[in-house]
Each structure stands twice: as structure tokens, then as C-alpha cells.
């Protein structure tokens, strides 16, 4: 893998991300905003499934999904830029894989909640107990993904291979 990492590290974009005074930090700011939009919306929907703000109709939470999609796009684009800047740092760190696993799992659970719980709530039915379990699981995964993301700064063993 080292030759692949080295070839990425030698691209003009990767060098620019590392050496420009602002590039890496601007990408990091956009990544943080994107993750906040995605994870913030996901946490709110998860909390509603758990029962927080139980008097609020579930369909009111549909408005979070377009905002979450904006967050996904921002996080992916800026995340790719950050990854190109330091590919070995991220791709050799198991915490990076943990972050992805948690966030993707949480996103799938929120999608399942939207598909299965929203129609029940719109029909005026009480939320089933498994819906609360989905909310708890999604909340744990969102928070674990955030924690893993914050740990990335402190857990890498390889910064650059070239």
C-alpha cells in the first residue's frame, strides 16, 4: 500500500492541501460543518424516535433530511480533500474505519426509521418499542462516530509514507 499512498501524496492537490497555509483548515471547517448538519439532524431524529419531544408529530422531522443531505455532500467532498492530503494517516488508522462504520450504520438506521416509523406516526399509531430501540442504536452510533472522528487526531501512527 505504501506505493499507492506515496503516489497520492505526490499529487499537486495533496501537496497543496498539506503546504498551503489555509487549504487544509478550510477543508476541515467545511468537513466539520457538513458533519454537524448530518449528525445533528440524525441525532434529533433519533431522539424523537426514543421519545424525546413525544408531543411533536413525527412528520415535522422530515425537514431535517434535505439539510442532512447537504451535510453529506459537504462532508464527503471535504473529507476526500482531507484524505488526499494525508492518505496514509487515515487509511492505516483503524479508528478511521470505526468512524465510517458507525456513521454509515447510524445513517442506515435513521433511513429505516424514516421509512418504517414515519408512516406509522402519520397514521396516528403509537410508535412500536422496536422504534425506540432503533433510535437508541442510531444515537449510540452517531455519538460513537463523532468520538472516533475526534480521536483520529491522536491515534494515527503514520503521517506520510513519502
Average pLDDT over every residue of 55-83: 94
- For residue 115, CA distances in Å to 57, 67, 155 come to 15, 17, 37
> What proportion of the chain, given as a percentage, has pLDDT over 90?
84
Residue 101: is its pLDDT beyond 90?
A: yes
Model confidence at 44, pLDDT cuts 50, 70, 90, reads very high
162/142: higher pLDDT: 142
Q: Round to whole Å and give the CA distance between 129 and 80.
A: 38
- pTM as predicted: 0.93
Mean pLDDT of the chain: 95
Structure-block grid coordinates of residue 55:
408531543
- For residue 38, CA distances in Å to 74, 85, 135 come to 9, 23, 16
Model confidence at 46, pLDDT cuts 50, 70, 90, reads very high
Q: What are the domain boundaries of the chain?
A: 2-155
CA-based torsion, 114, 116, 117, 123: positive or negative: positive
Amino acid at each position: 500500500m505504501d506505493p499507492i499512498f506515496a503516489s497520492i501524496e505526490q499529487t499537486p492537490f495533496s501537496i497543496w492541501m498539506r503546504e498551503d497555509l489555509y487549504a487544509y483548515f478550510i477543508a476541515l471547517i467545511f468537513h466539520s460543518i457538513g458533519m454537524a448538519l448530518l449528525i445533528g439532524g440524525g441525532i434529533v431524529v433519533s431522539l424523537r424516535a426514543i421519545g424525546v419531544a413525544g408531543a411533536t408529530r413525527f412528520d415535522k422531522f422530515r425537514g431535517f433530511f434535505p439539510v442532512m443531505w447537504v451535510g453529506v455532500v459537504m462532508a464527503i467532498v471535504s473529507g476526500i480533500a482531507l484524505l488526499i492530503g494525508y492518505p496514509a494517516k487515515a487509511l492505516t488508522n483503524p479508528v478511521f474505519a470505526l468512524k465510517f462504520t458507525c456513521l454509515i450504520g447510524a445513517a442506515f438506521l435513521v433511513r429505516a426509521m424514516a421509512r418504517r416509523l414515519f408512516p406509522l406516526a402519520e397514521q396516528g399509531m403509537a410508535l412500536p418499542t422496536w422504534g425506540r430501540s432503533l433510535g437508541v442504536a442510531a444515537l449510540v452510533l452517531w455519538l460513537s462516530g463523532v468520538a472516533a472522528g475526534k480521536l483520529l487526531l491522536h491515534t494515527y501512527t503514520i503521517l506520510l509514507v513519502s
